[in-house]
Chain A
Amino acid sequence: EAGVAQSPRYKIIEKRQSVAFWCNPISGHATLYWYQQILGQGPKLLIQFQNNGVVDDSQLPKDRFSAERLKGVDSTLKIQPAKLEDSAVYLCASSPRTGFSYEQYFGPGTRLTVT
């Protein structure tokens, strides 16, 4: 079974530029998560999709971050414009269940550096 795929793996941009990350979850997984992991911290949930609907985006900075999940499969996370404090690893995870997930499967992450 293929795991969660993410691209790009690394991205360096200047502040005020825009950037987009892509995630392909495990086939058949209903729930998709985007996490932000700042250096020295644990992952923080940004947004959770069940199929193609948003369940929780309470910690997503909506003035600059946006996310969508097309047809309940792939997802993109966009930052526009980026700030220095957005430098982090962006992790995508998926879960086969809707509702509470007993386990989440993570992708390798995208390391973003904003200069």
Chain B
Amino acid sequence: DQQVKQNSPSLSVQEGRISILNCDYTNSMFDYFLWYKKYPAEGPTFLISISSIKDKNEDGRFTVFLNKSAKHLSLHIVPSQPGDSAVYFCAASRTSGTYKYIFGTGTRLKVLA
């Protein structure tokens, strides 16, 4: 049962344009969401998070949007840079009870110079 889905395995974007990465979840009990970035041969690094009490969180070039009714979140990167080329994972968790992060399968972003 894939509770967190990233349906696009890969995405290519021109440098300077917007990158939009999508993530869907099925468990309505999830109330905290993270995005991680992963370079080859390195561990995932935290990028940005959002709580279910918000619908948007912004940090520099990165913005995460949460649509609870659609059980959908998206990560926007504006403007995209070649150094953003990596695999991006979304993860979701409950913050009470049985809490553990469930990760999506990742989207490989390639930013073309």
CB pair B42–A108 under 8 Å, yes or no, is: yes
Please tell me the size bucket of the interface on B.
20 to 34
- Number of interface residues, chain A, beta carbon within 8 A: 21
Residues of A within 8 A of B44 (CB): 43, 91, 106
CB pair B89–A102 under 8 Å, yes or no, is: no
CB pair A108–B89 under 8 Å, yes or no, is: no
Report A61-105 residues with CB < 8 Å from chain B CB. 91, 93, 99-100, 102-105
A108 is contacted by which of B32, B43, B106 (Cβ under 8 Å)? B43
Q: Which residues of B contact A (CB under 8 A)?
A: 4, 32, 34, 36, 41-46, 49, 89, 91, 93-96, 98-106
Q: Report the 6 A-B pairs with minimum CB-CB distance, sorted nearest first.
A: A42-B103, A106-B43, A100-B99, A100-B95, A106-B44, A43-B103
Q: Which residues of A contact B (CB under 8 A)?
A: 4, 40-45, 48, 56, 91, 93, 99-100, 102-109
23 sample A-B contacts, Cβ–Cβ < 8 Å, listed by A number: A40-B105, A42-B89, A42-B102, A42-B104, A42-B105, A43-B89, A43-B103, A44-B103, A48-B100, A56-B98, A56-B100, A91-B43, A91-B44, A100-B96, A102-B32, A103-B46, A105-B46, A106-B45, A107-B43, A108-B41, A108-B42, A108-B43, A109-B43
